[in-house]
């Protein structure tokens, strides 16, 4: 085997994470093995274990990276200075981008496997949804205060409805291969909190 350069070694964990993320988003966490990853990357399973001791550690790293990227996207939406309805549309757009790439939300897929996940992964999945709901609740409260959004119940309940609705809309649109189906559901969902 050819000797790797320092740069190639540095890229191996990212390549592993990129591939594993795609496999989870397409097959689910229980739908792939270290052997699948090793085979597709052309490395040994020992090389995978060098970077991620086991599948639980790989899964935890996947969630951490995905949550960080999602957090960056939320910060970018916030920095745009748009009104709350536009922020909600941009939030739904994050889901649409993933679905357009014929993938599912990583944490949505992991939620389907929740009972079989290691505890550290289960906690990380819940944390991902909690952080999204906190961000959405802030946007919803801002919209209620400035009169651009209207909803009954608490902002947290409305945020939970939005996250659940978008995750569900992705799931149902997937077998149809139809992003318009998702967009219609997302539009109606967000219209339910728009000012009458």
pLDDT in tens, 80-126: 989 999 999 999 999 999 999 999 999 999 999 999 999 999 999 99
The CATH architecture that domain 6-191 belongs to is Orthogonal Bundle (1.10)
Inter-residue contact 65 to 17 (CB < 8 Å): yes
- Taking residue 186's Cβ as centre, other Cβ atoms within 10 Å add up to 25
Domain boundaries, the chain: 6-191
Report whether 37 contacts 19 (CB < 8 A): yes
Residue 110's nearest CA partner among 46, 55, 50 is 55
Global pTM value: 0.89
- Quick one: pLDDT at residue 108? 94
Alpha helices in 80-118 (DSSP H): 84-100, 106-112
- Cβ burial of 142 (10 Å; 0-12, 13-18, 19+) is middle
């Amino acid at each position: 085997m050819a000797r790797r350069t320092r740069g190639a070694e540095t890229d191996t964990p990212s390549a592993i994470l990129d591939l594993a993320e795609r496999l989870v988003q397409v097959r689910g966490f229980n739908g792939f093995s270290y052997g699948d990853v090793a085979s597709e990357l052309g490395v040994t399973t020992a090389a995978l274990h060098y970077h991620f001791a086991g599948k639980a550690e790989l899964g935890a790293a996947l969630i951490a990276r995905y949550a960080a990227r999602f957090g960056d996207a939320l910060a970018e939406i916030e920095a745009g200075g748009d009104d709350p309805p536009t922020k909600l549309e941009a939030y739904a757009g994050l889901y649409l981008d993933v679905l357009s790439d014929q993938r599912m939300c990583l944490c949505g897929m992991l939620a389907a496997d929740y009972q079989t996940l290691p505890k550290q992964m289960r906690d990380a999945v819940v944390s991902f949804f909690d952080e999204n709901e906190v961000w959405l609740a802030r946007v919803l409260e801002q919209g209620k205060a400035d009169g651009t959004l209207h909803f009954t119940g608490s902002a947290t309940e409305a945020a939970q409805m939005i996250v659940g609705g978008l995750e569900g809309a992705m799931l149902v649109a997937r077998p149809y291969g139809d992003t318009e189906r998702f967009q219609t559901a997302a539009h109606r969902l967000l219209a339910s909190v728009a000012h009458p």
